[in-house]
Structure 1
Amino acid sequence: MNGYINVFKPRGLTSHDVVKKVKKILKVKKVGHTGTLDPNASGVLPICVGKATRTSEYLLNADKTYIGELTLGISTDTQDGEGSILNYSNKEVEEKDIISVFNQYKGEIYQIPPMYSALKFKGKKLYELARTGVEVEREKRRIYIYDIDVLKIQDNRKILFSVKCSRGTYIRTLCNDIGEDLGTYGYMSYLIRTVVGPFKLSDAVSLETIQEKCEINKVGDILYPIDYPLSNIEPIYVPNSYYKQLTNGMPIDIDLINTKNINTKDDILRVYCKDTFIGIGRVTKVNERVVLKLDKVLM
């Protein structure tokens, strides 16, 4: 069994919890996820099964879309509703100021990752240090906000918004920083992930659905092919006669393939042969020969 399942992660489970549950349901050894979703958030969590686990790295950089809620007037140590309250403010913020500040967060911005995160400092996860009361200095990280829109403002205190962002974006930190820019405090009071790469919330399935499909031997109904989330990688189609060489890890002279659409070297490629996706490769130089070689055979 090889491929991806677009799982709806319920609130309260860690991403690793979901991996363990899927592994138990499917009774397969190799199962992984393609990027952590906070335990207090729900939504799209692509799960890779079998040989698809070898391609998960290519989905880590996929853009993601969320719907979140920012509550103003309070800050917490975790920057969400699960943490301890640090500060209060009774400042009233006007709607026009809220919209103005949100608009300032479009484009390239920098974030300081929260202490309650899985990032590591000298081999220890930050949240492990935070739980012992230790805080360490974190470097700012560059992220990109492709789009951010205010959907609804309630009592000028609760703001529902949507955001499309790059890898590494902490929506909790976004809420905290927007609160500070408004001259008050803020925390993330709700979060659902609606898109990861090509995977959408409308197509996500529950753990219960996976169990039901497994019981009637129809997991294939919800299993996406390994190459489904890799459409951003350029494809190359190789004549059938080179199938054995490629799948045995042997390089092939690029001139023999007679392809016109590959001009760059060392760019990763989706490689197809015999009308089948056979792996991830690249065009590179070997002993002055320009060749195609598979980095990952996925047959």
Structure 2
Amino acid sequence: MTGILIMDKPAGFTSFDVVAVMRGVCRERKIGHTGTLDPMATGVLPLLLGTATRALPFLPDTDKEYEAGFRLGLATDTQDSTGKTIAESSVRASRAQLESVLPRFRGDILQTPPMYSAVSVNGQRLYDLARRGIEVERKKRPITIFRLELLEFDEATQSGRLSVSCSKGTYIRTLCADIGEALGTYGVMTSLRRTRAAGYSLSDAVTLEQAKALAAEGRIAERVLPVESLFTSYPAVTVSAAQAVRFSNGGALDLSRTSLRSAQLSDGSRFRVLSPENVFLGLGEVRDKNLAVLRLFPREGGTK
């Protein structure tokens, strides 16, 4: 089975747990995923089945969207509610105060990765160091918060919910902690639901239970999306029948003989390459006035 299956990951499962379960459900040994979710998180987890795993190194960077629960006045070692409490504050914030600090977290900002993260420092994962009680200095990293909205906030419990659209590499639990700090208190993330990733949304997703039921009925393939759906952010170019054969055999195409001949293209520009029958052949990349093969994606049953 080849293609993309969008899962609605349940709480308590790691991303690898979902992969392990779906290997049995789909009867497909080769499965990868496009982005790790912490065990407490739920929501959109795209799985790459079969030869679709070949797409992983070439996925375009796309923003992700989340709904995150948070609580002010509390700090934990993991920056979320699963961690050990390390500090508490009696400072209380109003909704107006909370709304007033959010603008400073929108746009291009710098964020310090949490100790409980997969970031490597001097060849060691931060979470490995954190589990040994070691804290090291981390460099701030640039991220982008495209949208940050307060969906609800209960002043009595100091708890609320945020809607966030952000760039790859953003830690939502760190965002909650930083917002707390901006208010003169602490903050932890209490829940996280990813509502969009890699261009897919919850409306595309199935739960583990739904996937198992579909598989039992022999209908799981109905929810498998084509590999091309991963790359819709890249423009498409349709080539001739002869060019399709050449490209499929690994040959670069002379741009002057394609529909891109009059376009001003820089090296590194990427395109979805389609046959005259509108069949997705693979990804092409502009190199020295040619459209070179970046990766071929033969249809299931192909030989490449």
Q: TM-score range by the shorter chain?
A: over 0.9
The answer (yes or no) to whether the contact 2:60–2:233 under 8 Å persists in 1 is: no
TM-score when scaled to structure 2?
Answer: 0.93
2:230 counterpart residue number: 229
**What is the SS of the residue equivalent to 2:184?**
coil
List aligned pairs for 1:169-248, cutoff 5 A. Answer: 169-248=170-249
Determine helix, strand or coil for the equivalent of 1:54.
helix
Of 261, 276, 279, 2:279 maps to 276
Relative to the length of structure 1, the TM-score reads 0.94
Query: 5+ unaligned residues in a row in structure 2: which ranges?
Result: 299-304
Aligned 8 A contact 2:60 2:231 in 1: no
1:214 offset after TM fit, Å? 2.1
1:252 and 2:275 matched: no
What is the distance in 2 between the residues matched to 1:122 and 1:143? Answer: 22
- The structure-2 alpha-carbon separation of the partners of 1:233 and 1:258, relative to structure 1 and needing over 3 Å to count, comes to closer
Where do 1:82-97 residues align within 5 Å?
82-97=82-97
1:260 CA drift (Å): 4.6
- Go from structure 1 to structure 2 and tell me whether the alpha carbon gap of 1:270 and 1:262 turns closer, same or farther (over 3 Å shift): farther
Give the structure 1 partner of residue 115 of structure 2.
115
CA RMSD of aligned residues (A): 1.5
Q: CA separation of 1:210/1:60 partners in 2, compared to 1, >3 Å: closer, same or farther?
A: farther
Q: Give the Cα separation in 2 of the matches to 1:118 and 1:266.
A: 29
Query: Per-residue deviation at 1:58?
Result: 4.2
Query: Are 2:9 and 2:43, in contact at CA under 8 Å, matched by a contact in 1?
Result: yes
2:68 alignment counterpart: 68
Deviation at 1:211, TM superposition (A): 1.9
TM alignment of 1:14-93, pairs within 5 A? 14-59=14-59, 61-93=61-93
Change (3 A) 1:164 1:261: farther
Secondary structure in structure 2 of the residue aligned to 1:4: strand
Comparing 60-69 with 135-144, greater Cα deviation is found at 60-69
1:171 deviates by 0.3
1:134-172 CA-to-partner distances (Å, cap 9, x unmatched) read 111111010001111111111251121101111010000
The residue identity in structure 2 corresponding to 1:234 is P
Quote the Cα distance in structure 2 between the aligned partners of 1:261 and 1:228.
27
**Secondary structure of 2:185's partner?**
coil
2:301 maps to none
Distance 1:187 1:164 in 2: 18
- The one-letter amino acid of 1:118's match is A
Query: In the alignment, what sits opposite 1:295?
Result: 294
Within 5 Å, give how 1:118-129 maps onto structure 2. Answer: 118-129=118-129
Preserved contact between residue 35 and residue 60 of structure 1 (Cα < 8 Å)? no
Helix, strand or coil at the partner of 1:130: helix
**Contact 1:34–1:60 (CA under 8 A) maintained in structure 2:** no
Q: Cα gap change, 1:7/1:109 in structure 2, threshold over 3 Å: closer, same or farther?
A: same
24-33 vs 3-12, which moves further = 24-33
The one-letter code matched in structure 2 to 1:126 is: L
Whether contact under 8 Å (1:74, 1:85) holds in the other structure is yes
State how far apart, in whole Å, the 2-side matches of 1:112 and 1:225 are: 37
**SS of match in other structure, 2:143:** strand
Rounded to whole Å, the distance in 1 between the matches of 2:88 and 2:259 is 67
- The superposition leaves residues 227-261 of structure 1 with CA deviations (integer Å, 9 ceiling, x where unpaired) of 11311112111111222211110122222224357
Looking at structure 1, the residues matched to 212 and 263 of structure 2 have their Cα atoms a distance apart, in angstroms, of: 43
Q: Identity, % of aligned pairs? A: 38
Q: Aligned partner of 1:136: which letter?
A: V
**Displacement of 1:65 after TM fit?**
0.7
Structure 2 equivalent of residue 266 of structure 1: 268
* One-letter code aligned to 1:186: G
Rounded Cα–Cα distance in structure 1 between residues aligned with 2:2 and 2:260: 29
SS in structure 1 of the partner of residue 19 of structure 2: helix
Aligned to 1:168: 169
CA contact (8 A) 1:12 1:39 kept: yes
How many equivalent residue pairs? 295
Look up the match of 1:132. 132
